[in-house]
Chain A
């Protein structure tokens, strides 16, 4: 969910840009009678229709770069000037991608606001020209096309621009963004993708001809989205200034509420739209390009672009291809995690065994997988038939039958070392030699689990995050003995499951849990100091965390949090202290395990959205009450006490070599723990906010609380030499 947001915001921009071209978007093809060879764009003429093919060189996707802009302008000018050509088709030569959006590298290469503004204006000019083209232009889009329709300031269009929401083709048709849909073709006399592109081109050419011959009317004189979403009445209402003001206000309110003011883009977009409507399109365009320039220069933009690059990095298998593909997967434990892992595996076509010790546990797990798939059916992302056929990849069982064929076993049993040892030994007795044993644990060191293994080189940690089908991160933990091929296999499986992967070294709490633990300890202390959970939640969310800190404990499970706190507390001692773990112990003893038991800091009821505080917590909190230190208890201090402990621990993980790169640290924190995406992750945050300022904060809290806030060496180094950055 964190990821969606981050990427949504990124694509918002690209979307915005192209969108204005209103469906005049293209797709590619290979030049048959290309007149000129250009690197990004070429075109051929079929009859009296020019077919313009977009094909960014050496890239899987087409992006709006400077070169593409200029070549596109050239080509379009030639087309407009030619007597022979009466209409044009725009198409991409890359199957599955029309134009992915603005080239991020191009944008990050811009040093100044003016540069960006200028880029944006160039793009506007060509799009405006395209819009006013005297010859009909048909865009044939196959695959991703990030773009939308600003123009008229219609709330529907606004929604799209603001959230960067993905729109499926059938929906785009309904919204009037596209005029016709062409369905993918199956096998014929050529590979299906190739023939589908050809067919799309053929159909587009027919339309272009029809438009030029006035046999087909574009029927879109009103502006795409407007015609569909707006009845005559609402369209009329939008002409009344008062109504418009109300609309702007409503939209702004909603955006502020959703972004907590942490993301500047949506508000600027509203501004631009407002300017466009109130002062005419020229002013709108000008304002758009300027605001776009301003936004690109913001810290938020840098943070989000950093995340984008980090994510690309974490979608690669740095260990190369494994010797043997994992085709048969077995999962031990049908709990929340086990079933979640099963769900993301079966829907990618992996034959998966889900084994549990009890029939009740197994039933629950299988039902979870089914419900996960069925929810997609309800959202029309799957057909019921696809659901059934995916579900048939899952075998639920109580014994080890079929494990002799397993290529990988992922255990997701309870976090108890002796239990993990027992299942490891049981499993090793039945699996083939090549089979990998992966442990899904959030805190137990993998080398300790592997200690009883006959083949420790085949043992690895795969730490998934709950809920597995929503959380993108997978933290893979390698021990000194883990073989390279085992790592390659684990990463390959994770990528197949659609995960963003960081690979870290073994150690207590690995990376993610280790960063979270000191922050959680601080959460407990803050609660003990009398801040109520609701207030704490709002402080953390307004800082950019997607989930409030108290709610997070409930979601993770109080018992899990207690386990982790105890385990890591033993290892790291005082540095992980702060809050009294007794709070968690008492909660567990009363059965307040968080969402799963219906009670934690809050009360959870099926079908009730509103969260009420659990009043039974009052006595527990009262018994552990600590006097707050007014020096360090302002709202901002509370936020920073949490964040600095997190950041300090993250940097220490890099210092100790648990983390290989800062980028993985940022991705892990944002995608796994919900570290504010607008800050870009702990390392990006240090770079952009300033190491010195963070160290200052830490020292202030150190003075109040002691060692838990002592800045680590690496962070101190960065503070001492301002040129030192995690990202150069």
Chain B
């Protein structure tokens, strides 16, 4: 008798230890669910998507989502997309893509930008609209086309051209033209550097890696892991969020093309890409410039159920953080992770699937070291103890931005879908999505598996 009781008790304790909470539903707040999400294959920029415009890619993701979910277009209340480098002609790319994808012209759409967490911002904006009762059905997504970026005339040239427009007489025009100098023609490239510090992200990542004493070898090893896992996931058909895309004038693209598992020897040969000649960040251990788009259908739970859907996951607590854009540019996940866990009442042990955005190997490893350091936690995070390390066997198991690619505006939805799909496939209840972004910002969100 005692023995049986003991066993029962033990089982109960184990259950409690395994999951601090049974669900993260909150009283009087609507549950928000992910019905499903899709993405175009992510391609190295300058490959098959190079002649497209961003809204073409976004449209492909939207039509893919419509096809996958069979959602009637007219029930969609609102569409939100994230993007970073804006094509000037389609600055509200969400609207242009939605119209082209055949959504009702009565469905409003807006575009958000928050560097590499733009799609996360699109999704959480949607969560807010649903939770506050403003909307029931939202399509969120993101798009980036790095094959083409807006290159502008210099400010001097622009000023001259605008003044010429206003000039009334030939004399005025001639006097303006006489001010022209050859250097006016020097083009202005979109900023590759942090505006506030003028430092490129790769340079900052290299300094971050050095600050946390992350070696070149560790970085190469981590990158190799990402590529190997991505390859495996691709081969096993786990990347089910991909929808094929028939590129006009080209073949149908069916899979990501940046996954290239190499060898440590090959990777060791590369020269540093940013801090020369002694830096540690190289092309092989950084995410590459990528074209791609993603879209996700989120709904109020009761709406989804009423429409007969079997949702994939809940979107639960989320958190945005920001810190010093110079020296802590890429430490967002370290700051956001403990905060979102605390907010949700979970611990690191409760998480079954971690999906972190991999900007650089060095950035991921620096975040690991920061999360594993009591000194850092005490001195920079105002915490008594360290955050703790995510177990590697639960971390980015299907590859990450280093291998799958990183279309800035679109990555957020990929992370959420990877977490949701992994929870379904691998079992487990809670996933944690986290990402860093330019401007020294960061984001984390809890994804809860929808009960089967």
Contact = CB atoms under 8 A, between A and B. Distances in A.
Contacts of A188: 208, 210-213, 366, 369-370, 376
B207 A189 contact: no
Contact of B212 (A183, A189, A207, A383): A189
Given A180-B278, A192-B327, 6 more contacts: A186-B208, A187-B327, A187-B380, A188-B369, A188-B370, A189-B376
Interface stretch (B18-26, B71-79, B190-198, B347-355): B190-198
A188 B366 CA distance: 8
A207 B277 CA distance: 10
Interface string B367-408: 001100101100110000000000000000000000000000
Contact of B210 (A199, A206, A385): A199
B328 A186 contact: yes
B324 interface: yes
Q: Report which residue of B278, B327, B328 has the largest number of chain A beta carbons within 10 angstroms of its beta carbon.
A: B278
6 contacts: A185-B207, A185-B211, A187-B211, A189-B376, A195-B210, A195-B213
Contacts of B370: 188
Contacts of A286: none
Contacts of A199: 210-211
Most chain A CB inside 10 Å of its own CB: which residue of B196, B211, B326: B211
A185 B197 contact: no
B197 A186 contact: no
Highest count of chain B CB atoms <10 Å: which of A189, A191, A195: A189
A126 B237 CA distance: 69
Nearest to B376: A189
Interface in A178-212: 180, 183, 185-192, 195, 199, 203, 206-207
Contact of B211 (A180, A186, A385): A186
A185 B196 CA distance: 17
A186 B328 CA distance: 7
Interface in B323-370: 324, 326-328, 366, 369-370
Nearest to B206: A183
Nearest to A195: B211
B369 A185 contact: no
A187 B379 CA distance: 9
Contacts of A190: 375
A724 B148 CA distance: 81
Most buried by B among A188, A199, A207, A383: A188
Given A203-B278, A383-B197, A385-B195, A185 B210 contact: yes
- The 9 lowest CB-CB distance pairs between A and B, nearest first, are A186-B327, A188-B211, A185-B211, A188-B212, A385-B196, A199-B210, A203-B278, A189-B373, A186-B211
A186 B326 contact: yes
Contacts of B197: 383, 385
A185 B327 contact: yes
A199 to B, nearest CB: 5
Nearest to B372: A189
Interface residues on B, range: 20 to 34
B324 to A, nearest CB: 7
Contacts of A195: 210-211, 213
Contacts of B324: 186
A46 to B, nearest CB: 15
Nearest to A180: B278
A189 B327 contact: no
Contacts of B376: 187-189
Interface of B: 195-198, 203, 207-208, 210-213, 275, 277-278, 324, 326-328, 366, 369-370, 373, 375-376, 379-380
B216 to A, nearest CB: 11
B364 to A, nearest CB: 15
Contacts of A385: 195-198
Nearest to A388: B196
Interface residues of A, number: 17
B377 to A, nearest CB: 11
A13 B379 CA distance: 42
Interface string A157-193: 0000000000000000000000010010111111110
B362 to A, nearest CB: 12
A206 B211 contact: no
B29 to A, nearest CB: 37
B369 A189 contact: yes
Contacts of B211: 185-189, 192, 195, 199
A192 B328 CA distance: 12
Contacts of A183: 203, 207, 275
Interface in A378-402: 383, 385
A112 B203 CA distance: 53
Contacts of B198: 383, 385
Contacts of B380: 187
Nearest to B326: A186
- Pick from A185, A187, A383, A385 the residue with the most CB of B within 10 Å: A187
Contacts of A383: 196-198
A385 B370 CA distance: 28
A180 B210 CA distance: 16
B328 A187 contact: yes
B436 to A, nearest CB: 14
A231 B330 CA distance: 43
Nearest to A187: B380
Contacts of A207: 278
Contacts of A191: 379
A383 B199 CA distance: 11
Contacts of A187: 211, 327-328, 376, 379-380
Nearest to B325: A385
Contacts of A203: 278
A191 B373 CA distance: 13
Contact of A186 (B195, B207, B373): B207
Interface string A455-476: 0000000000000000000000
A199 B278 CA distance: 11
A190 B203 CA distance: 20
A190 B376 CA distance: 8
A87 B208 CA distance: 29
A206 B198 CA distance: 28
A189 B278 contact: no
Nearest to A183: B207
Interface in A423-444: none
A192 B326 CA distance: 13
A186 B204 CA distance: 10
Nearest to B207: A185
Contacts of B277: 180
Nearest to A383: B198
Nearest to B327: A186
B213 A189 contact: yes
A392 to B, nearest CB: 13
Contact of A189 (B203, B275, B328, B375): B375
A188 B211 CA distance: 5
A180 B279 CA distance: 12
Nearest to B380: A187
A188 B197 CA distance: 19
Nearest to A198: B213
Contacts of B203: 183
A185 B197 CA distance: 14
Contacts of B379: 187, 191
Contacts of B327: 185-187, 192
B34 to A, nearest CB: 36
Contacts of B278: 180, 203, 206-207
Contacts of B375: 189-190
A429 B174 CA distance: 61
A183 B205 CA distance: 12
A185 to B, nearest CB: 4
Nearest to B211: A188
A183 B198 CA distance: 14
Nearest to A189: B373
A539 B167 CA distance: 55
A180 B277 CA distance: 9
A377 B327 CA distance: 21
Nearest to B324: A186
